[in-house]
Amino acid sequence: MGLFDKKFCDICGEKIGLLGNRKLDDGNLCKDCAKKLSPWFEERRHSTVEDIKKQLAYREENKQKVAAFQVTDDFASDSYHVYVDRSKGQFAVATGMSTALNPDIVDLSQIVSCRLDVKQEQHEEEYRDNDGNMRSYNPPRYTYSYEYWIRIQVNSPWFDDMDFKLNTFDVKDQDRGKMMQMEALGSQIVSALTGTAYVHQQTMGGMYNQPMGGNMYGQPMNGGMYNQPMNGGMYNQPMNGNMYNQQPMNGAAFGAAMGTAFGQAMNNGMAQNGNMGGYQQQTATCRCDKCGWTLPAGESVPKFCPSCGDPIDMNDMR
């Protein structure tokens, strides 16, 4: 068969035009049939004609799920929406929710891992010297920009991952508002898809490859940092009590107790006889026989005696 021989789609039977062939492992696929495949599908060249026929059958059945999908949560990024139907335990990632777009409806139980991935780019700043040449600053100066990605691994026969970027354009480090917006949106999405809170490392204003509801590799932590219980604290201390397993406090009682403890600490620390924060307030008297000036309680030692004007240092005080 020559290079320019006519080819026919092994799915629909239609003739494939020039540059319109999508090669399969054992056949050909026209561009119109290829458009019907899942947008998350990446193994077309290694798929057989039978594999494609099975997926297209699944895609037709998926339209019924789209029609029945009830959006209870809609998390909108710059390009994609994450739609959630809590009543059915399903979600979809797409630019819109319609049977024409036919976004893949996936069960929340199919999620293997989900995390926010922040990619940082470093850019060196330069200046133009008197000769018109670009020079580096000494020491070098840098600016940073960020891409915010949601990375979802799923257990599906048609695709393994659903990775998408939250921001269309890179976010500059000067745009703190946009950075906080993207991080908050990523946290909400992963929390909604996994049902767990996001634990992250805050570095230079970004969250760097930390999973939401899991550890660094997207595995569930089931109880917080280093597998400590979330209803307790580090080293298994209960959060509804104190570090030594005392009786639990409600919010009002805890606030009152903290206020009382703080007040007692301040009273003990600042208190009697000019004692502030546990350090004895210094008493000082000028050695000048003319004035006999004495430092008032609570004031710092001046450089000059306010009575006689003589310079004062610590050796002058008694």
Decide which of 43, 65, 87 is a domain's last residue: 65
Domain shared by 95 and 52, yes or no: no
Domain shared by 173 and 139, yes or no: yes
Query: Reduced to 3 states, what is the DSSP secondary structure of residue 238?
Result: strand
Kindly give the confidence (pLDDT) of every residue in the chain, 318 residues in length, as a single tens digit, with 9 standing for 90 and above.
455 567 898 999 889 888 888 888 888 899 999 999 999 998 888 889 999 999 999 999 999 999 999 999 999 999 999 999 999 999 999 999 999 999 999 999 999 999 999 999 999 999 999 999 999 999 999 999 999 999 999 999 999 999 999 999 999 998 999 999 999 999 999 999 998 765 544 433 334 433 333 333 333 333 333 333 334 333 333 334 443 334 444 444 444 444 444 444 444 444 444 443 333 445 566 666 556 667 776 666 776 676 676 666 555 555
Q: Is residue 279 a part of any domain in this protein? A: no
- Number of domain units in the chain: 3
pLDDT at 314: 54
Nearest to 28 by CA among 14, 42, 40, 38: 14
Domain shared by 139 and 190, yes or no: yes
Q: Is residue 138 a part of any domain in this protein? A: yes
Phi, psi of 164 (to 5 degrees): -150, 155
Q: Which DSSP helix (H) or strand (E) runs through 58?
A: helix 49-68
Domain shared by 76 and 56, yes or no: no
Dihedral angle over CA of 226, 231, 235, 238, nearest 10: 180
Domain shared by 42 and 174, yes or no: no
Query: What is the rounded distance in angstroms from the CA atom of residue 279 to the CA atom of residue 264?
Result: 16
pLDDT at 265: 43
> pLDDT digit string (tens) for 4-63?
567 898 999 889 888 888 888 888 899 999 999 999 998 888 889 999 999 999 999 999
Domain shared by 106 and 188, yes or no: yes
Q: Is residue 89 a part of any domain in this protein? A: yes
User: Residue 195 — left, alpha, or beta (φ > 0 → left; ψ -120 to 50 → alpha)?
Assistant: left
Residue 277 in tokens: 């924060």
Containing structural domain, residue 316: 285-318
Query: What is the rounded distance in angstroms from the CA atom of residue 240 to the CA atom of residue 222?
Result: 19
Residue 276 in tokens: 């502030």
Domain shared by 295 and 221, yes or no: no
Residue 29 in tokens: 């696929």
Residue 19 in tokens: 């540059």
Query: What is the rounded distance in angstroms from the CA atom of residue 265 to the CA atom of residue 277?
Result: 9
